[in-house]
Structure 1
């Protein structure tokens, strides 16, 4: 039966409405001394890859120590500007109710995210979405570059078989990460990817958003 739901964060549970990019730019400048003129692709991409590829766009070569410095600065920027995040961002429609409904069904919930863990914790706590998340079972940007590796690591940490888990995300990368590990994927078209994009990527179910809790619960219960 389904024991574990793996949540993506950005554009699945929350939207920062541009604040996230501003915080990344501030952390980039603190780390490199340069103004971030352009940012590499972020959708479905882990934080170390975003940092490395953004640095390349500024003619910089970086290493793990540089990323760790950036990650520390990024977490600090999120802590300092959590009020801005709360004011300008939002929990996406249905997110809180979906987390609550799954918790009431006895399902363990954690996070598989390209965000570093400290940022993931801040983002969900700002919008009151952290109560049902088991953080130590999750996998985060600092753990691996590729999303499939994050899913695999999360399953290991949770001591959960792939057929006992469901991943919920909003990008083809989320879908690929789940399918690579044999995890069923529910995709929500609340980001930049359309429902057709997500179906084409191989999602097992595609929802316009998280407001249809009945359909989400049906996926969980139908695996029992």
Structure 2
């Protein structure tokens, strides 16, 4: 069993069903004074990059300080509207059982996400998916703009070698970030990328969802499908 499982959050463990975009829009307005008319690409992208590129779409040039204000506002919006997130969003099928099953076989589990850490924590807490997550071992959007660097940082924080880890995510960016560090990937086609896209990206295994916990544990262990 690999010592470390690195989870993506959005469209891997949960789906906010549009609430996430609304909260980002509220934080964007609070930070910039402008209504967010459109949003930059978000799949597999870290929060600082999404904010910067979204600001550019509105003719704005931003600084790190601007992002930090946005991050605080975004955290506040998630705290304020947590009940709405719970009502409108949902944990994806099999997510809770997958986390439980991996904990039962001794895997350490953490998060590598483009979300900032406070939002990552809120998102999983809201859906009861946080109990096995070792947050201090993870890496988050505020840590680096580049997903591959987040994977590298998490390995360092966990004192784990690449061959001791596996990443579970839903985008080609997850695959690329893991492979840049020599980490295996189990891709889940529960987001916008279908199984063909994820296989073409090079994922070692691709699942349609997380419902088959026995298969997931085998794949995490490195057993062939």
Q: For the superposition of Structure 1 and Structure 2, which TM-score range results when normalised by the shorter chain?
A: over 0.9
Within 5 Å, give how 1:102-117 maps onto structure 2: 102-117=102-117
Per-residue CA distance 1:13-56 (angstroms, 9 max, x = gap): 00000000000000000000000000000000000000000000
Within 5 Å, give how 1:75-224 maps onto structure 2: 75-222=75-222
Q: What is the TM-score of this pair, normalised by structure 1?
A: 0.98
Question: What does residue 65 of structure 1 align with?
Answer: 65
**Helix, strand or coil for the counterpart of 1:72?**
helix
**Helix, strand or coil for the counterpart of 2:38?**
coil
Superposition deviation, residue 174 in structure 1: 0.3
Question: What does residue 52 of structure 2 align with?
Answer: 52
Task: Measure the CA separation in 2 of the matches of 1:214 and 1:132.
Answer: 18
Task: Measure the CA separation in 1 of the matches of 2:25 and 2:217.
Answer: 38
Give structure 1 regions of 4+ aligned residues with deviation exceeding 2 angstroms. 220-223
**Helix, strand or coil for the counterpart of 1:143?**
coil
- Structure 1: tracts of 5 or more residues without a match: none
Task: Measure the CA separation in 2 of the matches of 1:178 and 1:51.
Answer: 23
Superposition deviation, residue 213 in structure 1: 1.1
Task: Measure the CA separation in 1 of the matches of 2:171 and 2:180.
Answer: 14
- Structure 2: tracts of 5 or more residues without a match: none
Deviates more, 1:207-216 or 1:7-16: 207-216
Cα RMSD of the aligned pairs, angstroms, is 0.7
Per-residue CA distance 1:89-126 (angstroms, 9 max, x = gap): 00000000000000000000000000000000000000
Q: What is the TM-score of this pair, normalised by structure 2?
A: 0.98
Q: How many residues align?
A: 223
Task: Measure the CA separation in 1 of the matches of 2:221 and 2:206.
Answer: 17
Per-residue CA distance 1:119-146 (angstroms, 9 max, x = gap): 0000000000000000000000000001
